[in-house]
Amino acid sequence: MTADEAKAQLDERVREMMAWHFSEETGCPFWLDWKKSAGWDPREEVKTYEDIVKFPHFQDEWLRDEKNERFVPNAFKGRPFNVFETGGTTGLPKQRVGWDDYKHDYEQFSHQLSDEFFPKGGNWIMVGPTGPRRLRLAVEHLANFRGGSCYHVDCDPRWVKKVIARKAFEEAERYQAHVMEQAVEIIKHRDIQCIFTTPRLLASIGERISIAGHGIKGCFCGGTSMTPEYVRFLQEEVLEDKAQFVPTYGNTLMGLAVSIPEELKANNYSVTYYAPQPRAVLRIVDPEKTEITKEYGEYGRVELTTLTHEFFMPRFLERDEAIRRKPHAKYAWDGVGDVRPFGALTGKVIEGVY
Amino acid sequence: MSAPHIPILRQGRVHKSLDVQTVPKLGTDEPAAEISFACADMIKYDLHKMGSARAALKKFSCQELVDITKRAGEIFLNDALPVGTEGAMQTPEDYVLSLASTSGLPHALIRMNMKRLGGIFADIDTIFRGLTRGLDWAVLDKGYGEQGGAPVSFSATTNELAVILPSNSPAVNALWIPAIAMKVPVLLKPGREEPWTPWRIIQAFIKAGAPAEAFSLYPTQHDGSGTIIRRAGRVMLFGDDSTVKQYEHDPRIEVHGTGYSKFLIGEDEIDQWEKYIDTIVESVSANSGRSCICTSTIVVPRHGDAIATAVAKRLAEIKPLAQDDPNAKLSGFANPMFAEWINDAVEKGLKSGGAVDVTAQFREGERFQQRDGMNYLQPTLIRVDSFDQELAIREFLFPFASVVECPQAEMLDKIGYSLVVTAVTKDIEWINRLFDCPHIDRLNIGNVPTNRIKWDQPHEGNLFEFLYTRRSFQIAEIA
């Protein structure tokens, strides 16, 4: 796909989603009411992705304060929904309703994975927060979609966040050790070839056992920002350069932005992520004037627009900042590189506790 | 010389990080050094492997390591040594200039600190004997032996001595140097503005023949420091009273905190107070007043006003000078905000009443000064009316002291914790009480500056007892 083709596909998707979410037959009460109060019809005025700036930023509070039923598109009416929660790093967790999006997202992601490092039919282990998160179902679906089963070890990052906030670091370490004991037991005694976990938990497992030495060939990782030095450490030392490290950037609201693991080393472990366009779009914006897209190579705040039939979320300002990167031969749209917490130098966010 | 890249040393192995920060020359945008930063998890991993670092040191006898330490001292003081990753060499003079450019220390003070560090290397045998109370080093080589006719055996408490170093005082590196002769590897986290001294000492040791594996250097952020503190077997760190309190019950951690060192004159000597002014001035102002062993409170039974005036007059002669001025004794602040915060704290104390800045009448200009792009605080002597005044027992990172009058009989109840006390007296009864006083860590009797210390005696803990524990043992027979 060329950049022009990708752009045309995205614009087409935008028109389709405007028609879907702002029509009485298919749209949800939240957006239909919004259209009435806004006094303009996105179906008429939003014809390309550039027109998305006509929407205000989607607000966190809407996913906290509004009833979930108000986000149920009329097209899905009567069909029970899943409720997924975000991590809660920046306050109370947000909730998102969903049906099949996670399956679509992870099936699409599956096509990006290497069969050499994530063998078809291989079993998985997920070590990380399960509970109300989309990830728990998504990773299991990914494993199943690739013909394997998935083991789970749970942890509660919201509790860990509280423990760290009161500086009870030893308690946090004890909790981590408790999680690790379970993960290590399963990895040692079950036939597992693929893992999903967070960077810190991956490092923590690697402190206890040789991950590659226990048969794991591929590691799909996400959850927190990683410096190039940390990515190198995980690939070269934790995974001993034997298993493949696949960093991803994503959350309950977006799906998965993927990286190109084969090129990590050549890029000095600077990770660029590409959104699952056209289902979601990432834009690097000027934090002061968010309608302006930053130039390539410049840092800016990450803005997410989600464009699925289940969920429309325009211009949500993520908690992160990143470098705007050029399209890649594999992904013909902008990437976001070297993601880090937004305002890391000005405020304290407890991020990536696990 | 272009800005060198200071890498991470992982048991002596150079690791150039992808996370690099530039340390500028103070007051400029010109880079003084590029520094590789280690991630916390890397340090965790490396800590698991420190046994091999200790094994590398154990191949040497203590006598060999003592000899290496002595040679390293000569090399540290005199030789050109590698700096950074690009093969550049650093002469002693380059070292002085580099450290001055990032720390704000005057060249004369750096040279003085070099000399002090040189003394630690040179006196390592005396220090070793002092801290082990005359132990035959062969006991550590063999694992057991005799001391004073009694059977003894010592085992190391750790595979590494980790030290979280500050940015403002190169002399603190003296604290870890003896660990090498004691066969304990070091893991150092340098202060952001002061990678120079630990790096140079390590290079000197290696050139002298020490195994590179014994030296780890991790410039790192807060999470890396936290990992070191939580994970290392033995940790030395520097901090304020809250840090001391945080770790007071953790036997792995030795916190070097505020010293609150004091200079006391007894009833029997007070009428000859003029004889002690030189010593007091040195005690307050040595090393730009930055050490925990510098006097911060002067306690006298009478003549408080006259003593305060005499000391203030002398302290006011110490002014901010060019860093390369051989007479420069006052250090600028690497973090310019510190000078403002400290000055505000002193002013707040003065406004609370019962305190007079006696130096104000003698010094030129205000306490807070700017020169050559750096912030300075001019020496300050405060006459306070009692120990209750909030400036009576305070310690700041510049030459600062208070003078308080107090009857000799009440002094020891009032002084509180004191890292060093110099007591000028010949009163045996009082001397006995001083030796009995649990708040005093180091005690000098007579006209000895508080800042002159002997390293063969414990300093905020005995390094040997920190790194080794005595075990009981019996041997029926040895094959």
Residues of B in contact with A238 (CB under 8 A): 41, 45
* Chain A interface test: which of B10, B15, B17, B18 (most A C-beta within 10 Å): B18
What's the pLDDT tens digit per position in B187-224? 999 998 899 999 999 999 999 999 999 999 999 999 99
Does residue A105 carry a pLDDT above 80? Answer: yes
Q: Indicate the CATH number of B261-445 among 3.40.309.10, 3.40.50.2000, 3.30.420.40, 3.40.50.1360.
A: 3.40.309.10
Measured CA to CA, the distance from residue B105 to residue B372 in angstroms comes to: 13
Tell me how close the Cα of B396 comes to any Cα of chain A, in angstroms. Answer: 27
Is B39 within 8 Å of A170 when comparing Cβ atoms?
no
* Chain A interface test: which of B41, B228, B230 (most A C-beta within 10 Å): B41
Give the range with max mean pLDDT: A117-121, B461-465, B468-472. Answer: A117-121
H or E element in which residue A11 lies: helix A3-21
B30 phi, psi to nearest 5 deg = -75, 130
Going from N- to C-terminal start, the domains of chain B cover 5-257+460-470, 261-445
Does residue A89 carry a pLDDT above 70? Answer: no
Residues of B in contact with A228 (CB under 8 A): 18-19
Cβ contact B5:B34 at 8 Å: yes
Is A230 within 8 Å of B41 when comparing Cβ atoms?
yes
Does A207 contact chain B (CB < 8 Å)? yes
Measured CA to CA, the distance from residue A242 to residue B193 in angstroms comes to: 38
Give the pair of three-digit tokens for residue A185: 């037991």
Going from N- to C-terminal start, the domains of chain A cover 1-89+272-341, 100-270
Out of A170, A206, A230, name the one closest to residue B39 (CB): A230
Give the pair of three-digit tokens for residue A139: 């990773």
Measured CA to CA, the distance from residue B86 to residue B83 in angstroms comes to: 8
What's the pLDDT tens digit per position in A207-243? 999 999 999 999 999 877 899 999 999 999 999 999 9
- The average pLDDT across B96-108 equals 93
H or E element in which residue B208 lies: helix B196-208
Out of A203, A204, A229, name the one closest to residue B18 (CB): A229
* Residue B295 pLDDT class (50, 70, 90 cuts): very high
Tell me how close the Cα of A40 comes to any Cα of chain B, in angstroms. Answer: 48
Does residue A346 carry a pLDDT above 60? Answer: no
What's the pLDDT tens digit per position in B421-439? 999 999 999 999 999 999 9
Does B18 contact chain A (CB < 8 Å)? yes
Percent share of chain B, pLDDT over 90: 87
Which residues have CB under 8 Å from B368's CB, separation 6+? B339, B340, B343, B375, B376, B377, B378
Give the pair of three-digit tokens for residue B96: 């002085």
What's the pLDDT tens digit per position in B211-261? 999 999 999 999 999 999 999 999 999 877 887 788 888 999 998 888 999
pLDDT at B1: 60
* Residue B459 pLDDT class (50, 70, 90 cuts): confident
Residues of B in contact with A271 (CB under 8 A): none
Give the pair of three-digit tokens for residue B409: 């009989």
Which residues have CB under 8 Å from B83's CB, separation 6+? B4, B6, B89, B90, B94, B98, B199, B200, B203
Q: Which residues pair with B384 in a beta bridge?
A: B355
Tell me the CATH number for domain A100-270: 3.40.50.12780
Q: What is the mean pLDDT of chain A?
A: 93
Which residues have CB under 8 Å from B245's CB, separation 6+? none
First to last CA, chain A: 37
* Residue B262 pLDDT class (50, 70, 90 cuts): very high
Residue A113: left if φ>0, alpha if ψ -120 to 50, beta else—which one? beta
Measured CA to CA, the distance from residue B367 to residue B358 in angstroms comes to: 12
Measured CA to CA, the distance from residue B338 to residue B167 in angstroms comes to: 13
CA quadruple B276, B277, B280, B281: dihedral, nearest 10: -150
- The average pLDDT across A249-264 equals 92
pLDDT at A251: 86
Measured CA to CA, the distance from residue A351 to residue B122 in angstroms comes to: 48
- The average pLDDT across B268-276 equals 97
pLDDT at A344: 61
pLDDT at A349: 37
pLDDT at A350: 40
Does B42 contact chain A (CB < 8 Å)? yes
Is the link from the previous residue into A132 a cis peptide, with omega within 30 of 0?
no
Q: What is the mean pLDDT of chain B?
A: 94
Q: Detail the DSSP E strand segments found in B244-322.
A: 253-256, 261-265, 295-300
DSSP helix/strand/coil, B147 = strand
Q: Looking at the predicted complex, does its ipTM rise above 0.95? A: no
Does residue A348 carry a pLDDT above 50? Answer: no
Which residues have CB under 8 Å from A243's CB, separation 6+? A117, A211, A212, A216, A217, A218, A219
Does residue A345 carry a pLDDT above 80? Answer: no
Cβ contact A218:A193 at 8 Å: yes
Which residues have CB under 8 Å from B179's CB, separation 6+? B161, B185, B186, B463, B467
Residue of B nearest to A209 (CA): B45
For chain B, how are helix, strand and coil distributed in percent, rounded to 5? 40, 25, 35
Measured CA to CA, the distance from residue B264 to residue B283 in angstroms comes to: 12
Strands A244-251 and A218-221: parallel
pLDDT at B192: 87
Residue A236 has what DSSP assignment? I
Cβ contact A28:A70 at 8 Å: yes
pLDDT at A354: 41
Tell me the CATH number for domain B5-257+460-470: 3.40.605.10
* pTM recorded for the entire structure: 0.90
Measured CA to CA, the distance from residue B218 to residue B46 in angstroms comes to: 11
pLDDT at A157: 87
Percent share of chain A, pLDDT over 70: 96
What amino acid occupies position B62?
C
Specify the residue for token string 């890391």. A344
Return the closest-CA partner of residue A206 out of A227, A177, A237, A228.
Answer: A237
Return the closest-CA partner of residue A7 out of A291, A310, A331.
Answer: A331
Which residues have CB under 8 Å from A99's CB, separation 6+? A76, A79, A81, A82, A310
Helix axes B50-58, B40-48, angle to 10 degrees: 50
What's the pLDDT tens digit per position in A137-181? 999 999 999 999 999 999 998 899 899 899 898 899 899 999 999
Measured CA to CA, the distance from residue B312 to residue B282 in angstroms comes to: 12
- The average pLDDT across A191-212 equals 96
Does A173 contact chain B (CB < 8 Å)? yes
Q: How many residues are recorded in chain B?
A: 479
Tell me how close the Cα of B221 comes to any Cα of chain A, in angstroms. Answer: 13
Residue of B nearest to A353 (CA): B223
DSSP helix/strand/coil, B245 = helix
- The average pLDDT across A49-62 equals 95
Does B39 contact chain A (CB < 8 Å)? yes
Distance of alpha carbon B338 from the chain centroid: 19
What's the pLDDT tens digit per position in B29-42? 899 999 999 999 99
